[in-house]
Structure 1
Amino acid sequence: MTQLSDIHADRLVLEAVGAVFSASTTGLDAGSQTRVAVAFSGGVDSAVLLDAAVRVAGPARCLALHVHHGLSPHADQWLAHCENFARERGIAFAAQRVEVPRDAGVSIEAAARDARYRALDALCAQHGVATLWLAQHADDQAETVLLQLLRGAGLPGLAAMAPEHLPSGASVTRVRPFLHLLRAQLVQVAQARGLSWIEDESNADTRYARNALRHDVLPALGVTFPGFRDALARTAAHAASAQRLLDALARIDLDAAAREDGAALAHDVLLAFDDERALNLLRYWMRLRGLPAASTARLSDALRQLREVGAAHNLRVDHAGHALRSYDGQIYWEAGDSTEAADETALAPRPVSQMKWQGESIWRLPQWRGTFVFVDATADDPFALPASVLAAAPLIARSRSGGERMRVSAQGPGRTLKNLFQEQRVPAWKRDVPLLFVGDTLLFVPLLGVNRGAWEPASSTSGTTATAAERYLRIEWREDLTIA
């Protein structure tokens, strides 16, 4: 027999879903046929959300997305359950399997969450869906705020989960219709509707921090502070409001400090701010660059070093597979770790490679993690050279030894590579590139181009002269792709 409380809980669920569908910020007006994707784990929360979305908007406007983590021995059964649940209601269904990395120092919870969101975003892009619905509720929000408080998190952490949010660098908006509803209300609706759902056995494992809060702490809080969920939700809202103001200030500061479309900051502008404002700008800039948040201690140490070294070129602060570098009055984040040289004085010579060129289009150099590519070109291409030059003697790829010179224009003088790199504003740590020689003559330098002195008649060196019907080629250096 249906209870009045069941009817009330069901009405709250449908109102929450209907409000999101009709909200102008989602772009889903009543006559729109735009679809939304529902992250469907098969648990009670997502089952209620998917069921309600279908009742409000119809199955044609819903897409159920499931991520198979493989962490549980029951993962295959969960996938089958979710697919059957969607099929019974005429809902389109898609799933993706992921491998959760077990990196040292990273919790399995965090790794699984990151893998799940990456998979969900990819599935949304694959199916042309711009809005992803998540079934997190008021209990989840309370747990998140408490966890962040216990970790000593700043405002972004305390702001917890937003009802609607477009993550930096993402194209999929995440919407949470149930943030004001209790898990007990969702369970009540699921039981009244006769929905089936799965129970993840890992949710009972109190070795995980969130589970410990859920099973041991929140029930005790509820006895003495029955309104704690609302209070923590208000804390999250206050933190989100304060963070928006800090972001607005950071955007003003970024407009003043940004160089190269935001890829770099002006060293002097950043350091003109006091520490709190500079740290706020660094955090905001890192989010825009898609970098994971750094601890206050790490960022404070980076700022201290920036103040101490001034405009020195050899600064390196490692973070999450990237390095904060300072060069020529500008500050960059670049991919790389501490195994890479911080400046050109620290570069170790690479093994020398040699090849007799016979028309090859590529020359792979594993020790340099890259490839020379020889592309057909025309004689008027300023970066092309005669093919006969390549065949005149063995090609040799080696490290810089110091003092090398080249002529970058037909009538120009020979200049040192160091001066040319400085003129082109190439940072010192990018100058570790293979020099391509033909015999004993320098022929090509990545980032600088071809040495005209290797064959131009105007050169005083003993280069090779091209004939009128010569085939011309352009040399390119292509570094291997780095998978982050």
Structure 2
Amino acid sequence: MAASATPRLADSDVVAVAFSGGLDSTALLHVATRSGARVLALHVHHGLQPQADEWAVHCEGVAREFGAAFACTRLSGAPGRGDSVEAWAREGRHRALHDMAGAAGVDLLLLAHHRRDQAETFLLQAMRGAGMAGLAGMPKVQWRDGLCWARPWLEQPRELIQAYAEQHGLRWIEDPSNGDARFARNRLRQTVWPAFPSAEAGLAQAARWAQQAEALAAEVAGDDLARLATLERLDLAGLAALSPARASNALRAWLAPHTAAPASLVERLLTEWRPGATLCWPAPGGELHAYRDGLHWAEAAGTFPPPSAVDLSRPGLHPQPGWQGAWLVEPASAGIAPARLARLTQRARAGAEQFQRAPKSALRSLKKACQEAGLPPWRRGGPLLFDAEERLIAVAGLGMDARAFADQDELQLALSWLDDSALPQREGPAGTTA
């Protein structure tokens, strides 16, 4: 079943509803269509059940009956060996819902999660040892990638939703996988709620307290990081002066844009660092480096690109694929003759290079020059630029070699290196950045 064409419904009063065809989403779609808004029902065909095709037909019929437009996407592929079926379906469903809403020009998506769903999420996260963010469960309203994900029934008991559906004679799908005890959420439903029928409200309240605690922790981390950090560097000495709980909170907040750091890594960072130590910790997607009492993030580095010819004889920004940065070329009063920049070779550091920082400064080994400039070890690999006679012209992170400077009466260009993180964002199609 291929994805159906998504209607173009761009309008301020249009809302989308994630519509599985089950009890909860059927009731939500019914309420939404009676609100006076124009409604788009979004169905995701997971392809995991023999009845999935029939369910898609049922959902389209119900949507038309309620007066809603309808769109459907079938997920491609399947969970890999050892992968969680639930996680695969959830990730694919979120991606499909986002894409269908975006294609229709809709920026509000309603989901039918209710109080029991929130209570189950809290309990499952607690059993996994989650921190405050996990215990906070599902937010009632959340903007992600230009789409507002809203859960208007998050504080409503499921019994109220079922009573509404029965009162209006609604028909819905009963998914047989909901009784499959292989899935943790189903085992919880089969055991916890019958044994502790009043636990739902208390667990949902606990999730709300966790949300408040998480918001407070974010505020405190924001205050601490404003004093101690930039995106590129975290002051470890300042971090160590905080209380252990506050230091852990600030560290996790600083790591969040870079990597999904496990709790064990946060603990290692806080306990293993000592003033003046140079250390490295592997992390998902890269490495963390303690250098000169600062913590730095470095993306996972592959092998350096092979030597290549580069022409930097014209002013402008010259991106270098594979090197995670670009050369910036600008007119200058102290620089290099353009003709010399027309035929350059760009390559990684070999180990025997020498560098002169200024015309009257001493010639240093490249290693020594990097140390004197405070260039951290993980940024010393290059690229390096050499002219047609194999003379060093410039080093990323250090700048131009003074031996390459042109005479004063010549036209001159200055070279400097910009990492990808420092490059300006370019506007892409439809308002995206590239």
Whether TM-score is above 0.5 comes out as yes
Q: How well do the aligned residues superpose, as a CA RMSD in angstroms?
A: 4.4
How big is the shift at 1:473? 10
What is aligned with 1:157? 134
Q: Per the alignment, in what secondary structure is the counterpart of residue 207 of structure 1?
A: coil
Cα separation, 2, equivalents of 1:104 and 1:271: 43
What is aligned with 2:203? 232
Cα separation, 1, equivalents of 2:271 and 2:82: 25
Normalising by the residue count of structure 1, what TM-score does the alignment of the two structures yield? Answer: 0.68
Are the equivalent residues in 2 in contact too, given 1:141–1:160 (CA < 8 A)?
Answer: yes
Residue 258 (structure 2) pairs with residue 305 (structure 1)? no
What is aligned with 2:240? 271
Cα separation, 1, equivalents of 2:225 and 2:43: 39
Structure 2 residue identity aligned to 1:236: A
Residue 404 (structure 2) pairs with residue 454 (structure 1)? yes
How big is the shift at 1:270? 0.8
Structure 2 residue identity aligned to 1:330: G
Alignment deviations for residues 201-223 of structure 1 (CA, whole Å, 9 cap, x no partner): 43332111111112x213432xx
Are the equivalent residues in 2 in contact too, given 1:100–1:112 (CA < 8 A)?
Answer: no
Residue 131 (structure 2) pairs with residue 187 (structure 1)? no
What is aligned with 1:283? 252
Structure 2 residue identity aligned to 1:272: A
Cα separation, 2, equivalents of 1:285 and 1:199: 44
Alignment deviations for residues 161-195 of structure 1 (CA, whole Å, 9 cap, x no partner): 2333456xx54443222223333443343344343
Corresponding residue to 1:39 among 18, 30, 43: 18
What is aligned with 2:431? none
Cα separation, 2, equivalents of 1:189 and 1:218: 25
What is aligned with 1:15? none
Residue 404 (structure 2) pairs with residue 404 (structure 1)? no
Corresponding residue to 1:323 among 270, 273, 287: 287
Structure 1 residue identity aligned to 2:393: L
Structure 2 residue identity aligned to 1:195: L
Corresponding residue to 2:395 among 445, 449, 455: 445
How big is the shift at 1:272? 0.8
How big is the shift at 1:275? 1.9
Are the equivalent residues in 2 in contact too, given 1:250–1:280 (CA < 8 A)?
Answer: yes
Structure 2 residue identity aligned to 1:266: D
Change (3 A) 1:378 1:164: closer
Cα separation, 2, equivalents of 1:192 and 1:70: 32
Alignment deviations for residues 435-476 of structure 1 (CA, whole Å, 9 cap, x no partner): 232332113323344445336248xxxxxx97x7x9x89797
Residue 146 (structure 2) pairs with residue 174 (structure 1)? no
Identity across the alignment (%): 34
Are the equivalent residues in 2 in contact too, given 1:158–1:236 (CA < 8 A)?
Answer: yes
What is aligned with 1:386? 338
How big is the shift at 1:424? 5.6
Change (3 A) 1:403 1:387: closer
Residue 381 (structure 2) pairs with residue 432 (structure 1)? yes
What is aligned with 1:137? 114
Flag structure 2 segments of 5+ consecutive residues without an equivalent.
Answer: 1-10, 424-434
Change (3 A) 1:238 1:434: closer
Alignment deviations for residues 349-407 of structure 1 (CA, whole Å, 9 cap, x no partner): x6863659899999999xx93499899x776587764245544xx83634231442145
Cα separation, 1, equivalents of 2:194 and 2:403: 81
Alignment deviations for residues 63-111 of structure 1 (CA, whole Å, 9 cap, x no partner): 3334444444555554454444434444344455555785788633234
Structure 2 residue identity aligned to 1:430: R
What is aligned with 1:217? 191
Structure 2 residue identity aligned to 1:53: A
What is aligned with 1:198? 173
Cα separation, 2, equivalents of 1:241 and 1:252: 17
Change (3 A) 1:398 1:310: same
Are the equivalent residues in 2 in contact too, given 1:267–1:330 (CA < 8 A)?
Answer: yes
How big is the shift at 1:271? 0.7
Cα separation, 1, equivalents of 2:137 and 2:266: 21
How big is the shift at 1:430? 1.9
Q: Per the alignment, in what secondary structure is the counterpart of residue 35 of structure 2?
A: helix
User: Superposition pairs for residues 365-380 of structure 1, below 5 Å?
Assistant: 369-370=322-323, 380=332
Are the equivalent residues in 1 in contact too, given 2:312–2:318 (CA < 8 A)?
Answer: no
Residue 298 (structure 2) pairs with residue 353 (structure 1)? no
Q: Per the alignment, in what secondary structure is the counterpart of residue 195 of structure 1?
A: coil
What is aligned with 1:314? 279
How big is the shift at 1:142? 2.3
